[in-house]
Copies of this chain bind each other. A is one copy, B any other.
Amino acid sequence: MRKESGIISLLKERANCKTCNLSNLCLPVGISEGDVDKLDSIVHRNTPYHRGDLLYKQGDRFRGLYVVKSGSVKSYYEDREGLEHVVGFFLPGEIIGLEAIHSGCYNCTATVLETTSVCEVPFEQLEQLTEEIPGLQHQLLRLLSKEVHNDCGMVALLGNNSAEQRVAAFLVSLSSRHHSRGLSSREFNLSMSRAEIASYLGLAVETVSRTFSRFQEKNLLMVERKNIQLLDINALSDIGGQCSTELHQRSGRRHA
């Protein structure tokens, strides 16, 4: 078996594969196996991080992107009072640091939620590679665009107000993101704390907790600490509104 490469995930955009099969991933986007080697050569494979470790801090100079190989990451920024505001969670296959290309320094802090391994992709070198690898540029643009798309969805969601809608949409999003990595969409781990969920969704911790309980009473899910099972994804999807489906699923329509 070949070394698994984080950059592959970067380019493939959640193809359905558990282990990184190169030809599966790159051919469909027009990148040959030879080119994959070039990509691989610029990627740093960091040793695993542990809960609380930082990938980068708010204000650090932009070095490159990070691709989650396993585990999960949150990104947040601190306001003047030192309060933390979570702006995103990243699961395997997802890319961190895209917002820093523009200003040349990271404007969030990225920290690891559990034992996590990531690849570091130096951005300058990646940009240079676009000259050698046809199709790479297009993939990068698509990647960025997708992030914009997801964020739009988040804005719409947070404008949706009700706590139930937000929590439901959040869960459906996690579910579909797990699914797109070939993992179970029904049962997974909440690597983030209730407080982190609350911060992300703009709710109080207690509200998140109560909403979980209410969903559980309605038999929509079963949750115990970090472990969660979605019993009725359709119902949750309905509660969450279009956001939860539209926005975090690639091409798929509604779960019918």
Q: How large is the interface on A (under 10, 10 to 19, 20 to 34, 35 or more residues)?
A: 35 or more
Contact with B along A201-222 (1 / 0, CB 8 A): 1100000000000000000000
Within 8 A of B (CB), among A112-167: 127, 130, 137-138, 140-149, 151-152, 154-156, 158-161
Given contacts A85-B160, A156-B77, contact A144 B148 (CB under 8 A): yes
Bound together, the chains give a CA A109 to CA B160 distance in angstroms of 18
Query: Which of A138, A145, A160 has the most C-beta atoms of chain B within 10 angstroms of its own C-beta?
Result: A145
Bound together, the chains give a CA A55 to CA B87 distance in angstroms of 30
Contacts of A148 in B (CB 8 A): 98-99, 102, 144, 147-148, 151
Bound together, the chains give a CA A158 to CA B151 distance in angstroms of 12
Bound together, the chains give a CA A130 to CA B141 distance in angstroms of 12
Quick one: which of B103, B145, B147, B161 contacts A100, CB cutoff 8 A?
A: B145
Q: Give chain B nearest CB distance to A125 CB in angstroms.
A: 13
Q: Does any Cβ of B come within 8 Å of A107's Cβ?
A: yes
